[in-house]
Amino acid sequence: MIAIILGTRPEIIKMSPIIRVCEAQGVDYFILHTGLYYSHEMDRAFFEELDLPEPKYNLDVGSGTHADQTGRIMVGIEKVLMEEKPEIVLVQGDTNTVLAGALAAAKHHIKVGHVEAGLRSFDRTMPEEINRVVADHLAAHLFAPTETARQNLLAEGVEDYRICVTGNTIVDAVFQNLELSKKKATILKDLDLKPGEYFLVTSHRQENVASPETLRSIITGLEAIHQEYSLPIIFPMHPRTRKMVEQFTIPLDGIPVIEPVGFLDFLQLESSARLVLTDSGGVQEETCILGVPCVTFRESTERPETIEVGSNVLAGIRAGEILAAVRQMLSRPRTWKNPYGDGMAGRLIITMCSGKAGGLPVTVGNGIPLQNDYSMIR
């Protein structure tokens, strides 16, 4: 039996291909959702949007300090693991759910599989970096998305036999969910947007939004972009960011803010944007896959492949540098190659965990077949 443990919307997105393979192949598995940031009802809607089965367990942990949140997650996960006794626990990424899930499983001598293993920003001031490192060194199976990630693990003394380069499940998720979004999403029509004629922005990282100086600098950069290009800047604002904008009384001149949108709507916004500005690691990957230029409000990234292929640039947080980065990315041809695999990572991961995936067909909700060619993207 496989336990799939997740806690945030990015984890649901990146685990969705693995869940679909389990469903298609009749693998014995269950989903445990820790419920880090959203209510049970909101998350239920998210699972419904992606045509995924509801979790068997939902801990509804909510937010809190790192120690408090991690401790409560561990207590909840331990109870489930003692009852279900799975052979392997799968966790994805770098959240407190990943840390708690890996610790709880390892202490009960249950094998841990870390999806998206080996990512490194080499910045230990980031809580996510600590979570990644600890999970990797507890895991029995490390599913590295790229050769770069594999080399990071080897450099830390992880044995090669524990590592498998699978590609990144975000490629699978983009392939599969882009098809769903074409059928379900109406966001471009709703916002009266034309493809290629707007910029898309996301920002949620604590180091960017918790500092008034940093947040003001980013907003000033966005205003400069709007003035230079005279294109709409669409900003689905994270609740944490909105709270800080209001607390610091930062004006948003010429930057329309909308409520956070579901993944299918966001995928449509992302795939049709002229350029995306973000501090999200997942968005850096998604834009690279979709062929959309990306500018990142950070000094470092655990997605160096996006920099290497030319789909992304690190702009830092100064307004002038953000504008310069936008100019740079818009002058580049969109000819980079996707470094994250062929969209079959989920199948490979489940094959390695259960031996069941084989070559049988996998379908997305409503029987949409999983295809693996880039004609779906643009």
Total residue count of the chain as it appears in this document:
378
CA gap 15, 32 in Å, rounded: 12
Residue whose pair of structure tokens reads 């992606």 in the numeric block? 50
Any residues with CB less than 8 A from the CB of 340 and at least 6 apart, and which?
145, 146, 167, 168, 170, 171, 285, 288, 289, 305
CA 103: distance to chain centroid? Answer: 22
- DSSP codes joined into one string, 74-107: HHHHHHHHHHH--SEEEEESSSHHHHHHHHHHHH
Identity at 34, one-letter amino acid code? T
CA gap 338, 173 in Å, rounded: 14
A 10 A CB-CB count for 157 gives 7
* Three-class secondary structure of residue 301 per DSSP: coil
User: How many Å from the N-terminal Cα to the C-terminal Cα in the chain?
Assistant: 38
State how beta strands 111-115 and 141-144 pair: parallel
Q: Write out the two tokens for 254.
A: 């010429």
Which residue of the set 108, 137, 204, 238 is catalytic?
204
State how beta strands 368-369 and 363-364 pair: antiparallel
204 included as an active-site residue: yes
Residue 228's φ and ψ, nearest 5 degrees, are -75, -40
Residue 262's φ and ψ, nearest 5 degrees, are -65, 165
Identity at 324, one-letter amino acid code? A
Q: Which residues are catalytic?
A: 204
